[in-house]
């Protein structure tokens, strides 16, 4: 086994190191999960719920410790990682409610007895986690999967293994039976071994490119459930209203978490009018005031570094490519000269009239398009292969009704950031942003399959029924 390390992107210090799981170790974990599945699936739901409540208590007991660990691995400020841990804790009760509402058991009286709707677990679920929300996003798959009666093998992002190990420690405190939940640490090779193993489902949050790869390799494995939560080249249309309020929504949509949210606005669409010009100037002025710093700075910064110096260089290369195509920099995206080259300044690019790639830049970069009318604005918003989130800033109810009707996205917000979401709602997209299996409250849907049963207490009345049908047929 080779060594894996995670690095604090604020100062390049090693946060965690450990051995990577090779293919043999991954397959052994899958074998243990397979062996544990029958008894876990047969365990009464209230007992599975009790285990999950114990996990919640373990999270709560480690609340500050876990927030600091996530900050060290991702560079996110403590104010944000504290919120992430709180979301993980809240996910437990939301998942229990969602399971009861969307995947529970229903009985209906029938003349012969009853019709029963049940939901059955799939089996062994592989979960691949992302680096941007290394606690919250995999947790959104793991909790509902275990509640449904599946067993889980989880591979955290190779950028955030310490967070994965901390999640495993919390589940250990929940006293799960052996093999029900396991973590395998490693890079892409570990993930490939997990995906190639004998699994019944793959629950993945990550890039659209990786999602497209999984669609291809699972084309001939239809028995494996595939739930993809992917990125987006998300549009935000700002059409009217208070300039300062609108600019705040743009900055929150585009630059929160250093632009490392899949729901961040990547494209700002404005009218080619004085309002549009003033709005872009206001966004640039507000972006200039953004406090950038380390996760433990006091006062806290608005955002920290990107996940790595390599990620910063990749984003810069993409921006430079657009500038070479004729794009105008309203505010140039910059890699800052700090001890860690993962720190960046947000960029605002005017792409009006220039053909640019329909790609997600996972960084604080927003592309401005100026359009002549609202019809062109909606067309521009939908001109993407993605479909995760979209937003409209407008006080005009008629424009909102049109926008929400015509938008091609799974999350469509009005006068709120595109990053706005809730655990009580579904979260996911269409096109290259997912595969019609939204997460959050709707994760219960893909963690179990429905089973319809028609049941009678004994086999009576069937002979008479078939005799009547035969008689009717012969008479005819």
Active site residue ranges: 229, 262
Q: What's the number of CA atoms in the CB half-sphere (13 Å) around residue 433?
A: 29
For residues 16 and 386, what is the distance between their CA atoms, to the nearest angstrom?
35
For residues 287 and 248, what is the distance between their CA atoms, to the nearest angstrom?
9
Pairing mode, strands 411-414 and 389-393: parallel
CB 133 within 8 A of CB 206: no
Q: Which helix (H) or strand (E) is 382 found in, with range? A: helix 374-382
Say how many Å lie between the first and final Cα of the chain, rounded: 75
For residues 244 and 332, what is the distance between their CA atoms, to the nearest angstrom?
21
Question: Please, what's the b/e burial string for 396-417 (b: 16 or more CB within 10 A of its CB; e: otherwise)?
Answer: eeebbeebeeebbbbbbbebeb
Helix count and strand count (H, E) for the chain: 15, 21
CA 7 vs CA 14, 128, 134: distances in Å: 5, 20, 14
CA 126 vs CA 14, 78, 187, 196: distances in Å: 27, 29, 15, 10
What is the DSSP track for 60-119? Answer: HHTHHHHHHHHHHHH---HHHHHHHHHHHHHHHHHHHHHHHHHS--EEEEETTEEEEEEE
Report the candidate in 9, 7, 78, 63 with the shortest Cα–Cα distance to residue 302: 78
Question: Which residues, including other chains, have CB under 8 Å from residue 272's CB and lie 6 or more apart?
Answer: 352, 370, 371, 372
CB 240 within 8 A of CB 394: yes
Tokens of 32: 């243990």
For residues 266 and 259, what is the distance between their CA atoms, to the nearest angstrom?
9
């Amino acid at each position: 086994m080779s060594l894996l390390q995670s690095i604090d992107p604020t100062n390049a210090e090693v946060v965690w190191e450990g051995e990577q799981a090779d293919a043999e170790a991954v397959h052994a974990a899958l074998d243990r999960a397979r062996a544990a599945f029958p008894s876990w699936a047969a365990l009464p739901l209230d007992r599975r719920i009790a285990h999950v409540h114990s996990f919640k208590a373990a999270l709560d007991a480690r609340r500050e410790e876990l927030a600091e660990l996530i900050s060290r691995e991702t560079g996110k400020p403590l104010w944000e990682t504290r919120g992430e841990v709180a979301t993980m804790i809240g996910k437990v009760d939301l998942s229990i409610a969602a399971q009861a509402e969307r995947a529970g058991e229903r009985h209906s009286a029938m003349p012969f007895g009853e019709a029963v709707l049940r939901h059955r677990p799939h089996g062994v679920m592989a979960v691949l986690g992302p680096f941007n929300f290394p606690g919250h996003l995999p947790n959104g798959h793991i909790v509902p999967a275990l509640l449904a009666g599946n067993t889980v093998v989880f591979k955290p992002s190779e950028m955030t293994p310490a967070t994965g190990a901390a999640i495993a420690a919390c589940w250990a405190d929940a006293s799960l039976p052996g093999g029900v939940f396991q973590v395998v640490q490693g890079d892409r090779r570990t993930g490939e071994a997990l995906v190639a193993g004998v699994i019944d489902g793959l629950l993945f949050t990550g890039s659209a490119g990786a999602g497209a790869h999984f669609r291809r390799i699972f084309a001939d494995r239809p028995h494996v459930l595939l739930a993809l939560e992917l990125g987006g080249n998300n549009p935000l249309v700002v059409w009217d209203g208070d300039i300062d309020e609108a600019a705040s929504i743009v900055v929150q949509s585009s630059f929160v978490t250093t632009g490392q949210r899949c729901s961040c606005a990547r494209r700002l669409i404005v009218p080619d009018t004085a309002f549009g010009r003033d709005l872009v100037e206001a966004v640039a002025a507000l972006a200039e005031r953004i406090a950038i710093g380390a996760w433990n700075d006091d006062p806290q910064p608005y955002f920290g570094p990107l996940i790595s110096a390599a990620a910063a260089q990749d984003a810069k290369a993409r921006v430079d490519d657009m500038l070479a195509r004729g794009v105008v920099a309203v505010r140039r995206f910059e890699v800052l000269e700090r001890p860690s080259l993962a720190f960046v300044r947000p960029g605002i690019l005017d792409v009006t009239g220039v053909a640019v790639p329909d790609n997600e830049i996972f960084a604080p970069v927003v592309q401005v398009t100026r359009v002549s009318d609202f019809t062109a604005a909606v067309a521009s918003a939908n001109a993407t292969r993605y479909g995760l989130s979209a937003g409209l800033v407008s006080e005009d109810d008629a424009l909102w009704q049109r926008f929400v009707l015509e938008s091609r996205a799974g999350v469509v917000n009005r006068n709120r950031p595109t990053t706005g979401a809730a655990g009580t709602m579904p979260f996911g997209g269409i096109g290259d942003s997912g595969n019609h299996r939204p997460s959050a409250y709707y994760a219960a849907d893909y963690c179990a399959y429905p089973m319809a049963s028609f049941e009678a207490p004994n086999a009576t009345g069937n002979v008479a029924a078939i005799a009547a049908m035969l008689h009717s047929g012969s008479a005819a």
